[in-house]
Structure 1
């Protein structure tokens, strides 16, 4: 798992060295990274029956969102991502499908939370620009450029195991509608422990990145197009959450 992540982005990231401490991963300010995505602290903690995934940045979290392009094809996605060592089966995907990551995303050109009305306007298909949560499964893809990563595609006719809140897109993505907060210098998602099967422990890292929908709408449908910052500097998933925390 860790080797796959490191190889997939080798040569694509010039992140500063970071220190792993009990409270997560502390990162030096990058300087060349936009402040809203410049990671300074990534951590996962427990609050009662919830796991709190958190990223602290040098600027105002969530203050930058993609510009609308007017179409799904070619649309951009901005994201705060927590890659984990959890098996993809922990949240309802096929087991062993790739790297399970929690993501906080914004993409004004499309809506992939069909069960939610985030802006409370009576419509469930116009909220994509608001920050919202996803589980995604990442896999290697050479055609995705320097990052070498994509959200795993679902081939036509295939029927893999998927979470109940899968939004219907032909990729390994879940739209669980978790409680979240994006304000001041912090991006946070609160995940029920029960949703990930009360794991004893898992490793994690922090990433800020952009993704882009393939203009031709075919495999790979959604590539990681730019990696802005990596908490550990090398995607080694050095931080550990344990049930004792």
Structure 2
């Protein structure tokens, strides 16, 4: 897969996300790139409000969600994660994390080596601990972490001795990740997730900006900080992580 250089963009995203200019009034359009895997090649990303909830939508050049990882049976340490992500300018506190802790993003992820949604049984087989290979949703807080590479992003760690502020549906993992149970819906080239906000009125999205990203992440092999690094960015809707999208 073709990679996107996140070195400078990751730092700029954290420092200046709130200044995104919002030049796209109805989603972000992105050209097809035949060098990329089609189901991770973003052609559009959009966030829209519908009274009590918001819909996060992404369209791809191929069949969204068609490519999934194989289960290596090795467990979480060293596991790969593939994802469709909407980074936003929302403060993490709107979903229950501590204030100003990083970049709040909604993600649909797939990682068959482990399960991080202990409250939910995605495959409806009576076992809540074997569903990581089914696409599911997370809120994550992202921060630059040099241990993942120069300028690379990672899911924020819970530091030793820290008592973090977490959402009620935090799965207890040692990083800033929430498992809210919003089901990603795949329909041909499109993925959608309907969400509500735990700690804020949904209308706070009217003042937010967003982008669309497809990416790979990796859990640290020793399960020690940094726990989850962004290792590859397959595509970015805006092309530069400038978060130009405004909510429709």
TM over 0.5: yes
| Matched residue, 1:55 | 58
Q: Name 1:37's counterpart in structure 2.
A: 40
Tell me how far apart the structure 2 counterparts of residues 110 and 53 of structure 1 sit (CA, whole Å). 25
Q: 2:220 aligns with which of 202, 214, 222?
A: 214
Question: Match for 2:149 among 119, 140, 145?
Answer: 145
1:92-103 alignment to 2 at 5 Å? 92-103=96-107
Residue 156 of structure 1: how far off its partner (Å): 2.6
Corresponding residue number in structure 1 for 2:191: 187
Q: Give the Cα separation in 1 of the matches to 2:171 and 2:235.
A: 28
Cα separation, partners in 2 of 1:5 and 1:207, compared to 1, 3 Å: farther
Number of residues of Structure 1 aligned to a counterpart in Structure 2: 231
The one of 75, 80, 86 aligned to 2:79: 75
Tell me the secondary structure at the aligned position of residue 82 of structure 1: strand
- The reply on whether 1:233 has 2:239 as its aligned counterpart is yes
Judged with a 3 Å threshold, the aligned counterparts in structure 2 of structure 1 residues 229 and 173 are, in CA distance, closer, same or farther, namely: same
Q: Report how far residue 231 of structure 1 moved.
A: 0.4
- Assess if the C-alpha contact under 8 Å between 1:213 and 1:221 holds in 2: yes
Q: Which has the higher contact order (CA 8 A, sep 6+)?
A: 2
Q: TM-score, normalised by structure 1?
A: 0.89
Contact 1:105 1:133 (C-alpha < 8 Å) held by counterparts:
yes
1:21 partner SS: coil
- Which stretch shifts more, 74-83 or 173-182? 173-182
Query: In structure 1, which of residues 65, 90, 102 is the aligned counterpart of residue 94 of structure 2?
Result: 90
Q: Please point out which of 42, 46, 49 is paired with 2:49.
A: 46
Q: Is the 8 A contact 2:89 2:103 kept in 1?
A: yes
Higher percent of residues as strand: 1
Residue 24 of structure 1 corresponds to 27
Of residues 122, 127, 142 in structure 1, which corresponds to 2:126?
A: 122
Aligned-partner Cα distance in 2 for 1:236–1:204? 8
Structure 2 length normalisation: TM-score? 0.88
Instruction: Tell me how far apart the structure 1 counterparts of residues 233 and 134 of structure 2 sit (CA, whole Å).
Output: 21
Inter-partner Cα distance in structure 2 for 1:195 and 1:58: 35
Query: 1:5 Cα shift?
Result: 7.4
Cα contact 2:93–2:199 (8 A) shared by 1: no
User: Whole-Å Cα distance in 2 between the matches of residues 35 and 167 of structure 1?
Assistant: 32
In structure 1, C-alpha distance between the alignment counterparts of 2:10 and 2:118, rounded to whole Å: 35
Query: How large is the RMSD of aligned CA atoms in angstroms?
Result: 2.0
Aligned ranges 1:155-170 → 2 under 5 Å? 155-170=159-174
